[in-house]
Structure 1
């Protein structure tokens, strides 16, 4: 009878601890939520921002868990080693970061959580006393249990948005789904592994057409130099005709300015022809 009571009490305490652990693992303080844009077919590294909240606090790396949220719940991302095979392409080689190799459209809008669990207090020891009356004889059973009542969890969430050259928000000045800054955005669908490519204009280079080619300004100047020279010649010719040539022109004299003013305005023809 004593064993029955003891095991009943043990099961009750274990159930209580399980409920505490369940609530603790499913809920926590979200310290940061962010969106990570990843080009299609490229790798991505997710950092555990929740660890920043525990820089000055000792924590156990075994309490750090990476999880992927799905419609049916959370899926634990187990620790992996380089070269491991995974259908979901998620690799966790350390407690500080998570690597996603070759992001595909199946990863679009995936939410990944970094859970950091730590205990706030030392385990509390409780002494439980049970009294049982059997055949008129009172039996006392003493049991001691260590229960971790107070726990805390820090959670950082990262939403993965795959850039696939799609149409972004029309209200935004830039398209977040197109990482190519100065060039055309193309997606290679020739194989089952899709990958984004940027075809840069002549003046830019780089993986995302973000780097200016060396000597671009000088080449642009030489390309437009004939037009600039033509405009300069027109401006110089106009200035010469309007300003310089006018100052050197001989002043024209009117006929009335050279006539003798002593002549009378009216001439008597009778005197000239008697």
Structure 2
């Protein structure tokens, strides 16, 4: 029996005042309890317990030792509970990253709700349109839109975000609406620069995709800036439906390509490694997946964590 177990036995003996009662509590033999106390006394060189045929009592040294040992056991139990809470994801710090417009509209309110469910968990929310290095920036989980390509990360797909090509009624009246994607070459396209090949716009062609090279004199790395430019009549912008649905319904923007469809962008939760995924990350990802599944804009929910080749 190791020293810590001997101390635990001694504390129980002090509190129960009975070797036989402690033996029953710990499911060991009474001689084993007596042997643990004797070994502890021998190591300390002092008598801790007075024994007689009817009772067990502490010596003066035993009472002093008990007070210190009881505190040690209490601190150890508290440490065990703390680690248990960390392993369950209910304590510690969770660092989350998300792109600005999407993060403000869909992630931030849900992070607040998640925090309410786990008040002992501290959360840092970093809203940034530039993809962060998760390891270098100590990010536990990032929400990313579009095609992913960073190797070595793990991704869970939370859904898909449909995109639409839109322009203001004034722009379409003055320039005409393009009938096909190829007609975009005669138009000014408002381009999002925070992606691979921003001048190449993809469109659905049955089960396949085809790309066209667009012309542009207005570019930005922020989707909200593209929306403002489209509303001002600068040109045709390719934007997520959730960002422009209200403006389309109000007549401020119109779909520019009729029934031509753009491919949806994937919504993913990504994190650095599949090895020992922290419980807090699992809790958060499950929560976000359940939350976003109720949003009508998002399609294609999946529930498996998997390694994914990423390109963003």
- Fold match (TM-score > 0.5): no
Normalised to the residue count of structure 1, the TM-score between the two structures is 0.19
* Higher RCO, 1 vs 2 (CA within 8 Å, ≥6 residues apart): 2
Which structure has greater strand proportion? 1
Judging by fraction of residues, say which structure has more helix: 2
Q: Taking structure 2 as the reference length, what is the TM-score of the superposition?
A: 0.17
